[in-house]
Amino acid sequence: MKDLVIEDLHVSIEGREILKGLSLQMNKGEVHALMGPNGSGKSTLAYALMGHPRYVVTQGCVTFLGEDLLRLSPDKRARLGLFLSFQYPQEVAGVSLANFLRMALSAVNGKQVSVPEFQKLLREKMALLKMDASFAGRYLNDGFSGGEKKRAEILQLAVLEPVFAVLDETDSGLDIDSLKIVAEGVNRLISPKRGVLVITHYQRLLNYIKPGFVHVMAQGRIIKSGGPELVHALEEKGYDWVLHEAGLKEPVQSPLH
């Protein structure tokens, strides 16, 4: 069995069905890209996997490392090794990035991490990501640029070392320089022990993070899967041809660049 198995997943928000029978399978060590136009349900999948209370699963099942993921609370999902990088990270004034990361690590590990032990770990991870040490002393996302917020999310990924990381539109709002920096950080964290699901509707991020598997999502489900060549086909043709191939009538006009 695959490490992450999503079968016929249906998810509603305030009574409106967003996911309409989504199925996906992944293993550790794999990098998957989930593409699709705005409103197709990509972020809904991310939040449903992490257990956001607004996202109600009405049908289907999710198995993660042999566990019934949908029966677990969000904190237990995180302890099991699931991680979500938010599209719009929240600002927390008065709490330094370092203190936040130490609390998060203690919560995920289920035990308190000593200050010296954590400081050593943080220095190693920041060096790995080529981040200035002063970054850790700033308040969490307070006054951060879009690129800095996304780098803070990748630092959290590096510190927590999850089994599976879901990156929800990490490229959103980034200029090309910030995009390269964030992508380089993600690439440094890809390993045989970690699966990564990159959610995006732009092709440009996938110029830097190379997926082995690509899935196209529309109208609440995956309508086409393939290899890296699918990214290039979408770049050339857009999404309409995939919808037509899947027998869906609604046209989609969405930029891929």
In a domain, 98, yes or no: no
List the domain range (segments joined by +) for residue 76: 4-93+162-246
With 60 as the cut, is the pLDDT of residue 161 above it?
Answer: yes
For the chain, the C-alpha Rg in angstroms (whole number) is 18
**Phi, psi at residue 169, to the nearest 5°?**
50, 55
Mean pLDDT, rounded, for 175-198: 92
Q: Nearest-CA neighbor of 108 among 77, 154, 84?
A: 77
Structure confidence by residue, pLDDT tens digits, 95-119:
999 999 999 999 999 889 899 999 9
In a domain, 46, yes or no: yes
- Of residues 160 and 37, more confidence is placed in 160
With 80 as the cut, is the pLDDT of residue 170 above it?
Answer: yes
Q: Looking at residue 249, what is its pLDDT? A: 63
Structure confidence by residue, pLDDT tens digits, 1-28:
799 999 999 999 999 999 999 999 999 9
Q: Looking at residue 120, what is its pLDDT? A: 95
Report the C-alpha gap between 141 and 8 in whole angstroms.
36
Mean pLDDT, rounded, for 144-157: 89
- Of residues 147 and 122, more confidence is placed in 122
Q: Are 218 and 18 in contact (CB under 8 A)?
A: no
With 80 as the cut, is the pLDDT of residue 88 above it?
Answer: no
Q: How far is CA 157 from CA 64, 103, 185, 239, in A?
A: 18, 14, 10, 31
With 70 as the cut, is the pLDDT of residue 251 above it?
Answer: no
In a domain, 81, yes or no: yes
Mean pLDDT, rounded, for 231-246: 89
In a domain, 236, yes or no: yes
* DSSP SS3 for 62: strand
Q: Nearest-CA neighbor of 22 among 38, 41, 37, 35?
A: 41
Q: Are 254 and 38 in contact (CB under 8 A)?
A: yes
What does pLDDT average to over the chain? 91
In a domain, 123, yes or no: no
Structure confidence by residue, pLDDT tens digits, 214-224:
999 999 999 99
Number of domains in the chain: 1
In a domain, 154, yes or no: no
Q: What angle do CA 255, 173, 212 make, to 5 degrees?
A: 65
Mean pLDDT, rounded, for 81-107: 90
Mean pLDDT, rounded, for 182-195: 93
Q: What's 39's domain CATH number?
A: 3.40.50.300
In a domain, 213, yes or no: yes
Residue 250's pLDDT band (cuts 50, 70, 90): low
Mean pLDDT, rounded, for 228-253: 82
Task: Find where tokens 């109600």 sit.
Answer: 56
In a domain, 179, yes or no: yes
Report the C-alpha gap between 219 and 20 in whole angstroms.
7
